[in-house]
Structure 1
Amino acid sequence: MPYPEGHKLKVRQHIITSAAKAFRTHGVQNISLPYIMKGAGLTHGGFYSHFQNKDQLVMETCQFAIGDTIETLQRVADKNKDEDLLPIEAVIEFYLSPLHRDQSEIGCILPALSGEIPQLSKQIREAYTQELQHFIEFVTNMAEIDTSAGYALVSSMVGSVALARAVSDAKLSDDLLQAGRMQAKRIIETATHQTTTPTKGQGD
């Protein structure tokens, strides 16, 4: 009996979803294909019906995971439209929260993989780079700041989460998140001030 239409695409998506959870939690190099397939409720032998190799899975998982994070952050921003927080402030508060730090399995994949990406293939690095650029564009547009300030903002956000997850001292971890929130908002305030302040000679 043939599988229903769309079955293969659904199975493929199950594999990518399982991989995203595994890579976010444990990284790429420490996770085997059988582990990922088991997480998807499948046997290892079926993997190569959907992907050429692990590198292809990693690349597609990066794309899926960043898209998933952007959707989550957009929902956070939309949910806070009626609050005192600006959309980007709501995103910063969520991204640099203990909740996001502690739920790495469903969190942003950028801090999870940033330490080992340089050790992986050129193709994976290119995929990671492309998705990082998508994330920077999303954050920059939401904050309504220039690209240079967007680089600084995303670096502060991703770096703060990576360090907060890495340390063994709970208070230090919380302090790193708090400092990251303050720094992220300071970057936005500085960038906004620079774009709204008249240059010398204007208004004379």
Structure 2
Amino acid sequence: MRYPAAETAEKHQRILREAARLFREQGFDGVSVGQIMQATGLTHGPFYNHFASKEALMAESTLHGSEHSRAALDAASISPETMRQYVRDYVSAAHRDAPGNGCLLAALAGDARKQPAVRPAFTFHLKSIIGKLATHFPWQKKRNPRQDAIVMLSAMVGAVALARAVNDEAFSDEILKAVNAAFTT
């Protein structure tokens, strides 16, 4: 039975959305195709009508997550203060505590290096975010905006990843606050 194109496209987007969320929460190896399809409310059977493999889904869901992250950063680029708020929101307890709704960089950097199918999408996303930060962040000194953006993003991603990894909430908060203060004050 053929479904209307709009319904098929909606199902495809639903699979991408849930896969991106679950991969950020549990890692690429931590979630199965069956779990993703269950989260979408679909059966496992139609998966291969949408994707050639789990690796293809991983790559496309990374691009899907990238689109949303880039849109959020674009929205923040309207003023210096909204850019600083973007950094505050990124390096926050709310972001730390919700990896499924957060940035794919902080959630999947360790996993992406082991997934050749994902690396091109991950690289594209990273370069795009660095470019946007270099262009739109209100740098105090215009030495080398691209280099400064790489340092800032590395600190932001690292802070969230480390804050998620420790078992001491006060220390976790301290990590976030230190990086936040380094770029927003």
TM-score (norm 1): 0.81
Q: Distance in 1 between matches of 2:87 and 2:70?
A: 13
Letter in 1 for 2:168: D
User: 2:22 corresponds to which residue?
Assistant: 22
Q: Which has the higher contact order (CA 8 A, sep 6+)?
A: 2
Confirm whether residue 179 of structure 1 aligns to residue 150 of structure 2.
no
Q: Partner letter of residue 6 of structure 1? A: A
- The sequence identity of aligned pairs, in percent, is 32
**Deviation per residue, 1:16-70 (Å, 9 max, x gap):** 0010110111111111000001111111111000001111111111111122123
Higher radius of gyration, 1 or 2: 1
CA distance in 1, matches of 2:151, 2:138: 14
- Match for residue 148 of structure 1? 147
1:165 corresponds to: 164
Q: Distance in 1 between matches of 2:7 and 2:128?
A: 29
Paired residues of 1:111 and 1:159 also in contact (CA < 8 A):
yes
Whether the aligned pair in 2 keeps the contact of 1:37 and 1:43 (CA below 8 Å) is: yes
What are the ranges of 5 or more consecutive residues in structure 2 without an aligned counterpart? Answer: 140-144
User: Would you say the 8 A contact 1:77–1:90 is kept in 2?
Assistant: no
1:112 aligns with 2:111: no
The alpha carbon displacement at 1:73 in A equals 3.9
How many residues align? The count is: 180
Checking the alignment, whether the CA contact within 8 Å between 1:66 and 1:135 is kept in structure 2 is no
Task: Report the residue type matching 2:112 in the other structure.
Answer: I
Matched position secondary structure for 1:13: helix
Distance 1:71 1:119 in 2: 27
